[in-house]
Structure 1
């Protein structure tokens, strides 16, 4: 307020003093302005705040070099106004907005609108370059008579096509001279494509001329039903070979199993009664810890069937106990660990040749690392070029003979649609999957009431004991039962002959469950049909799962 002077009741003689006083006040104002400019020039202020270059908007701030409280100069003199205007006008270089900021501030929520950078994983060479396996078993060019690498005894028992790639590879790897170790293998192929024979035949052929009483092959499976099934296959192909196969599972008392696998002799001490052991993971740990004379120091083959399921649920940490047992047995036999030399390498027993099989084998290097594979090789039914794309790493396959479809309907129409398939379309040998044992029971009762004796529907779930499940499966195989309604307990690995149709009454929870469900039909080159019944709100999730398969689009 120093600039404003009230000129009331003043004489003309006092005008000169007034002008001098105003000049002094103006000089003071100029001095304050210059001081303020110098003070603001020493403070480095950010004029532009850039959130993210080329993507997020920039917040521009006007230069702060102007005085914060500029006041309009009013006075009686025009020269005073012009002078004040020149003083208060900012320089052009002070209002220039900086083009680039040295600081970035994150605004919450902007990442939802940005395209994320795609990260390409670099897989090991053996995972990115697998050996191709055909998914069409009806067009295989190789016949049993052309299998020069297969023994005549096995040819006489073999009745169907087998994996042309895996079996000769395993046989060739085990023909290498000592101390060269064979490459471990991982096999990812559709269900029903002959994965069991892919490890049964080479193991039997390699061990059939073995000398001595030792456990030389062990096959580990996740559940008792699968172990019993694989044991039957081994016993079938071990006919006339002199090899003895023993099944170890919770279905037999531990004491009885101990008498089947070991025997004490006066001359040689404890000897093995079994050449090949088929077992569940939990039962194996029990025998390692409790069975006297049980040793695996001569183990030549270690097969893990349904490897992804065992990988996700390692029972009793069986792999640790197995590796520790083999290591301790070798140290007791050879003494302390010797220095690295040709003699020590020649005398050292090689580790078991590991063979991993599954229709939904994980191709994650971190998960596969826990198996301790030696220079592994991958055999996959997925197209080779799909492994070059990061989005296709975890794709799975279904057989070419399998016809896959889905039906979209309301929840109240699902039983009617299933009844239409069974009665109007005359579907026979049908397996229907639900997500709960209670749902399976209710659907079984409903279909039997509607069928009025024309439909023979039975329930098959984990709620039933093993003997009852075996009896139901036997009646289904003998056509005494037309429809099996069950849960995913029978979806994995169990071979059910002549199953023509698979119906997913409830949608599968994930892609692995879907692969194992539809794998109950279309096996060993036979044509099969798979139908999934979906509600409207389940379509999006099911299509997302279908993108993880290397198959044709579902109709």
Structure 2
């Protein structure tokens, strides 16, 4: 283990790290940064909350500071792709803190915001472009951005980008990038498709892994309450009332469910807000900002926020509904116990969710301690009912080929032979 000041980083970076009170790197930073500084492609595996942003951000900024000159109009020197708007903003905020006393410019490109403002900002060029794939392609189609000078590519939370179907967007973006380039890919899980992705876009990558995929952060205390669906609202209020001032992130499976749950909590006197896909980007940004500042202490979210909230003060994560994708459970509870702090993850499980719980525990190779209730019998999925034969006239008679009474078979007229 080394200190950041032992890496030989640019003085401006060392000063920024000291201002942020970063002294010792996390395990993923400890492994990845020296390799990235030496120019290697990186395949990094680590769960959320382990410091991946600095793992790729520090070597990226150090390389850019060593390059002379400003970016040309519409040009970007480096590109970071992330699957959600929240994660893009989180990454950009972290990088701006590191580059505030340098000449480097950081730009963000996400959907849900004015594309004309983004075009105007990009017209001056940028050193670091942080983007969601969809909006970036929109800007490429408008010829508002030129990626031919990009010599550093970062794919953050690459497994979620695959889950969200961004692989097609990546295939569209990659050929437009400059070569040769350094590519760093970071992911919390390593499905088979991720192996194929790494072979396609990385050159002789150095693999760094700090924990097995599917393993929760060590400082998260987990528990589960077996509670039927109608009793979940009262159980949630009971838990929230026990620590009214704590920052608590509550996960709901659906957008409608998240909004309904939030409105019910507000009606009962809780200081709550919600973020989900039906909210505008401005509404989501304001809710996260208020949550970060402690102006609200309960944030109800769908999985859109599972990897896009980096708030060290989150004390509790409550899985009001278990996720249908087991990996998302790990990402959700990774929103607490960040930056070396401790946190608590609480889950509710009804009879309809028992199979989801079993999949989660199989992924993590551990059983979640039971806080209350008894595991109910799993409810088997309903089988589609067979169609009944409502033909009361009995089976249709077989057709004999004879003409129907009163009619004759129609014959095609013969074509006249050519003269």
Q: What's the TM-score bracket when you normalise by the shorter of the two chains?
A: 0.7 to 0.9
The CA deviation at 1:208 is: 0.3
The CA deviation at 1:411 is: 2.6
Structure 1, residues 295-352: CA drift from partner, whole Å, max 9, x if none? 333321101112112223344933333333347xxxxxxxxxxxxxxxxxxxxx52x2
TM-score by length of 2: 0.78
The CA deviation at 1:362 is: 2.8
Q: 1:228 to 1:258 in 2, by over 3 A?
A: same
| Pair 1:277 & 2:129 matched | yes
Q: Separation in 1 of the partners of 2:297 and 2:194?
A: 43
Partner of residue 227 from structure 1, selected from 77, 88, 98: 88
| Pair 1:413 & 2:199 matched | no
Q: Separation in 1 of the partners of 2:106 and 2:117?
A: 15
The CA deviation at 1:363 is: 4.9
Q: 1:374 to 1:456 in 2, by over 3 A?
A: same
The CA deviation at 1:531 is: 0.7
> What's the Cα RMSD here?
2.5
**3-state SS of 2:130 partner:** strand
Alignment map for 1:390-401 (pairs within 5 Å):
395-401=213-219
Q: 1:368 to 1:221 in 2, by over 3 A?
A: same
Q: Which residue of 1 aligns with 2:55?
A: 198
Gaps of 5+ in 1: 1-140, 175-181, 264-272, 328-348, 384-394
Partner of residue 207 from structure 1, selected from 51, 64, 70: 64
Q: Which residue of 2 aligns with 1:532?
A: 347
Q: Separation in 1 of the partners of 2:148 and 2:304?
A: 35
The CA deviation at 1:457 is: 2.4
| Pair 1:185 & 2:42 matched | yes
Q: Which residue of 1 aligns with 2:169?
A: 318
**3-state SS of 1:468 partner:** helix
**3-state SS of 1:500 partner:** strand
Q: 1:358 to 1:144 in 2, by over 3 A?
A: same
Alignment map for 1:489-528 (pairs within 5 Å):
489-528=304-343
The CA deviation at 1:505 is: 0.8
Q: Separation in 1 of the partners of 2:295 and 2:115?
A: 35
Structure 1, residues 398-455: CA drift from partner, whole Å, max 9, x if none? 21111111111233322222122112455621111111222223323333344xx3x3
Q: Separation in 1 of the partners of 2:198 and 2:150?
A: 21
**3-state SS of 1:548 partner:** helix
Q: Separation in 2 of the partners of 1:505 and 1:223?
A: 22
Q: 1:319 to 1:437 in 2, by over 3 A?
A: closer
8 Å CA contact 2:159–2:190 kept in 1: the answer is: yes
8 Å CA contact 1:311–1:367 kept in 2: the answer is: no
Q: Which residue of 2 aligns with 1:249?
A: 110
Q: Which residue of 2 aligns with 1:170?
A: 36
The CA deviation at 1:376 is: 2.0
Q: Separation in 1 of the partners of 2:349 and 2:165?
A: 33
The CA deviation at 1:479 is: 2.1
Q: Which residue of 1 aligns with 2:359?
A: 544
Q: Which residue of 2 aligns with 1:307?
A: 158
8 Å CA contact 2:251–2:321 kept in 1: the answer is: yes
Q: Which residue of 1 aligns with 2:7?
A: 148
**Count of aligned pairs between the two proteins:** 358
Alignment map for 1:419-498 (pairs within 5 Å):
419-424=237-242, 426=244, 428-450=246-268, 453=269, 455-498=270-313
Q: Separation in 1 of the partners of 2:229 and 2:152?
A: 50
Q: Separation in 2 of the partners of 1:524 and 1:420?
A: 28
Structure 1, residues 12-48: CA drift from partner, whole Å, max 9, x if none? xxxxxxxxxxxxxxxxxxxxxxxxxxxxxxxxxxxxx
Task: Work out which structure has the larger RCO, using CA pairs closer than 8 Å and 6 or more positions apart in sequence.
Answer: 2
8 Å CA contact 1:459–1:485 kept in 2: the answer is: yes
8 Å CA contact 1:216–1:276 kept in 2: the answer is: yes
Q: Separation in 1 of the partners of 2:217 and 2:331?
A: 12
Q: 1:419 to 1:260 in 2, by over 3 A?
A: closer
The CA deviation at 1:366 is: 5.4
Q: Separation in 1 of the partners of 2:259 and 2:201?
A: 43
Structure 1, residues 247-299: CA drift from partner, whole Å, max 9, x if none? 22234544443333345xxxxxxxxx21211122122223333226x433332
**3-state SS of 1:521 partner:** coil
Q: 1:447 to 1:372 in 2, by over 3 A?
A: closer
Structure 1, residues 51-81: CA drift from partner, whole Å, max 9, x if none? xxxxxxxxxxxxxxxxxxxxxxxxxxxxxxx
The CA deviation at 1:360 is: 2.8
Q: Separation in 1 of the partners of 2:9 and 2:302?
A: 39
Alignment map for 1:71-86 (pairs within 5 Å):
none
Q: Which residue of 1 aligns with 2:368?
A: 554
Partner of residue 290 from structure 1, selected from 142, 145, 154: 142
Alignment map for 1:12-411 (pairs within 5 Å):
142-145=2-5, 147-158=6-17, 159-160=21-22, 161-162=24-25, 163-172=29-38, 174=39, 182=40, 184-214=41-71, 215-262=76-123, 273-291=125-143, 294-315=145-166, 317-326=168-177, 349-350=179-180, 352-364=181-193, 367-368=196-197, 371-382=200-211, 395-411=213-229
Worse-superposed segment, 195-204 or 239-248: 239-248
8 Å CA contact 1:304–1:356 kept in 2: the answer is: yes
Q: Separation in 2 of the partners of 1:315 and 1:365?
A: 12
